[in-house]
Structure 1
Amino acid sequence: MSHSMVSETVEVTGHDDTPIETYVAHPANDARRGAVVVIHHMPGFDRATKEIVRRFAELGYDAACPNLYHREAPGADPDDAAAAARATGGVPDDRLLGDVAGAARYLRSLPTSNGRVGVIGYCSGGRQAVLAACRLDVDAAVDCYGAFVTGTPPEGYPLQVRNLVPLLGDLRCPLLGLFGNDDRFPSPEHVDELEGLLREHDKQFEFHRYDDTGHGFFAVNRPGYRVAAANDGWDRITAFFAHHLSGE
């Protein structure tokens, strides 16, 4: 672990060569290391997400989180930016892929890079992390309670996306999934379906489910936060990335 770090907001070239506000953090040393792209939850590019980016730097990674709502509301309060994004049905998949690819490219361009990049996402970002793992060159992916990897959004739901069932056979890297058994999106049945499809496609994955736990259990500033599940989840994320992102 690194106990001294640097964090800042930079511009990273995202989808369609658009400069995207991106929060980055990294250990204050020149050691070669892996990197992590953090995909924020539906509430947006907020303080809690930036704390997660810094946590990965403390764990010894270069980390970056692109503001996926930058185009809708540049410089806006995270709540206002999230509302603007929800009004349009969420972030289009192609744009998401371009922005995450840009963040991964930025991280690999750093002189400390060992070439390995993982991706992790929370809430809507969990689905987007799986999408990135199916379509982009990443080395490991973590899905934290991503809705609609399987299943379909109900009528009136603010996130208008398709599930990823047709893409799961293209999963390119190991996947860690962390889910609450009291969640509705994804429900235990959705997670069962995802597990079955990954087995059918002979993919490398590891799922953990938590009783008495619903959606958003990593979010320390929200009512759904669950200390035991979050602590165990962080232990598993730490071990997973250490295994898949270390080395030259």
Structure 2
Amino acid sequence: MHEELLSLLPRSEFTRRGFVVTSLATGFALAVQPVTAETVTTDTDGLEAGEVKITTADGEMPAYRAMPAKGDKFPVVLVVQEIFGVHEHIKDICRRFAKLGYLAVAPELYARQGDVSKLTEFPEILKIVATVPDSQVMSDLDATVAWAKKSGKGDTSKLAVTGFCWGGRIVWLYAAHSKDVKAGVAWYGRLTSAVDDLHPKHPLDLVTSLKAPVLGLYGAEDMGIPNDTVEMMQAALKETKQPSEIVLYPKTPHGFHADYRPSYRKTEADDGWNRLQAWFKQHGVSP
């Protein structure tokens, strides 16, 4: 959505000062209120779902997890938040995965920098998001995988990652970072932009470093992710013979999977969700 504006903000210095966010937001982020009539709500029947704490190198990070109430050794899906943090929509996506038989977990990856769910102005949200280092995010996702393994419920030999908007870019980065992830699905994540000390590389810079296949789902009318950058990524993947793929939906905006926002496009969202499940199955991370 407004993630493309991050590159326009001044470089931010990062100092660890502990966790600002110690529990997750309730409901939807204030910046996206009111939610639309098409908002999907997934119940918790047959699920174990709720907030958990994940131990990181410097403290405890809040996260939302959902999984079937019975059984264990579930395939694990890391769900990476939109620019709005882990609010109700991201929690609902975790429950959707749990209904399919996964252990899905969404860590609050801005927990040290601030609670964007309480902000209504996008420039204020962007100021916080711009201070989140990629290295911190990679470390926190590693800690989330370790948490899932230690829980005894997750089978981290079947590890997948998916993310939306800000999180879509992170999917590509994590697929280049982690030797354990088996498949990724990136929903409309930025592919290239200006670099700085906290964000030294973007997906286009990491094509040859991908350790897992990524399916990219993008909209041709995304005002923040120009089609030429998508085409550049497609060409780079083809040239390096990477098994990753990108689908570019015609006449489709950014945020087309976000059913709680006006950008939602049901046909493309449903198609993308079906493609995600098939991609995970193809690469051995389905229940």
The answer to whether the aligner puts 1:243 opposite 2:282 as a matched pair is yes
Give 1:40's aligned amino acid: Q
**In 2, distance between residues paired with 1:52 and 1:241?**
16
Mapping of residues 63-78 of structure 1, within 5 Å: 63-73=104-114, 76=115, 78=117
Residues 16-60 of structure 1: CA distance to partner in whole angstroms, max 9, x if unpaired?
333110100101121433110000010111111110111111111
Deviates more, 1:123-132 or 1:201-210: 201-210
> Structure 1 97/85 Cα, relative in aligned 2: closer, same or farther at 3 Å?
farther
The answer to whether the aligner puts 1:38 opposite 2:60 as a matched pair is no
**In 1, distance between residues paired with 2:173 and 2:199?**
15
**In 1, distance between residues paired with 2:150 and 2:283?**
19
Deviates more, 1:64-73 or 1:83-92: 83-92
How much does 1:83 deviate? 6.6
Pick one of 86, 94, 98 that aligns with 2:126.
Answer: 86
Q: Would the aligned equivalents of 2:277 and 2:286 in 1 still touch at CA under 8 Å? A: no
Q: Would the aligned equivalents of 1:42 and 1:123 in 2 still touch at CA under 8 Å? A: yes
> Structure 1 90/194 Cα, relative in aligned 2: closer, same or farther at 3 Å?
farther
**In 2, distance between residues paired with 1:33 and 1:103?**
15
Give 1:220's aligned amino acid: D
Pick one of 171, 196, 206 that aligns with 2:210.
Answer: 171
**In 1, distance between residues paired with 2:278 and 2:105?**
19
Give 1:128's aligned amino acid: I
1:204 counterpart residue number: 243
How much does 1:166 deviate? 2.8
1:221 counterpart residue number: 260
Q: Would the aligned equivalents of 2:109 and 2:137 in 1 still touch at CA under 8 Å? A: yes
Residues 180-224 of structure 1: CA distance to partner in whole angstroms, max 9, x if unpaired?
010123221111111111122221112212112110001111111
Pick one of 154, 178, 185 that aligns with 1:142.
Answer: 185
- Identify unmatched segments of 5+ residues in structure 1: none
1:26 counterpart residue number: 67
Could you say what secondary structure the match of 1:119 adopts? Answer: strand
C-alpha RMSD over aligned residues = 2.5
**In 2, distance between residues paired with 1:62 and 1:166?**
31
Q: Would the aligned equivalents of 2:84 and 2:116 in 1 still touch at CA under 8 Å? A: no
Mapping of residues 41-120 of structure 1, within 5 Å: 41-73=82-114, 76=115, 78-80=117-119, 86-88=126-128, 89-114=130-155, 115-120=157-162
**In 2, distance between residues paired with 1:113 and 1:139?**
14
Q: Would the aligned equivalents of 1:145 and 1:178 in 2 still touch at CA under 8 Å? A: yes
> Structure 1 240/90 Cα, relative in aligned 2: closer, same or farther at 3 Å?
farther
2:41 counterpart residue number: none
Deviates more, 1:40-49 or 1:105-114: 105-114
Q: Would the aligned equivalents of 1:72 and 1:85 in 2 still touch at CA under 8 Å? A: no
**In 2, distance between residues paired with 1:17 and 1:106?**
15
- Identify unmatched segments of 5+ residues in structure 2: 1-43
The answer to whether the aligner puts 1:181 opposite 2:224 as a matched pair is no
> Structure 1 44/183 Cα, relative in aligned 2: closer, same or farther at 3 Å?
same
**In 2, distance between residues paired with 1:121 and 1:161?**
20
- How many equivalent residue pairs? 238
How much does 1:3 deviate? 6.0
1:129 counterpart residue number: 171
Residues 154-182 of structure 1: CA distance to partner in whole angstroms, max 9, x if unpaired?
9xxxx977423332211001111101010
Could you say what secondary structure the match of 1:220 adopts? Answer: coil
Q: Would the aligned equivalents of 1:34 and 1:245 in 2 still touch at CA under 8 Å? A: no
Deviates more, 1:215-224 or 1:159-168: 159-168
Could you say what secondary structure the match of 1:10 adopts? Answer: strand
> Structure 1 132/41 Cα, relative in aligned 2: closer, same or farther at 3 Å?
same
> Structure 1 223/51 Cα, relative in aligned 2: closer, same or farther at 3 Å?
same
**In 2, distance between residues paired with 1:39 and 1:247?**
18
**TM superposition score normalised by structure 2:** 0.76
Could you say what secondary structure the match of 1:24 adopts? Answer: strand
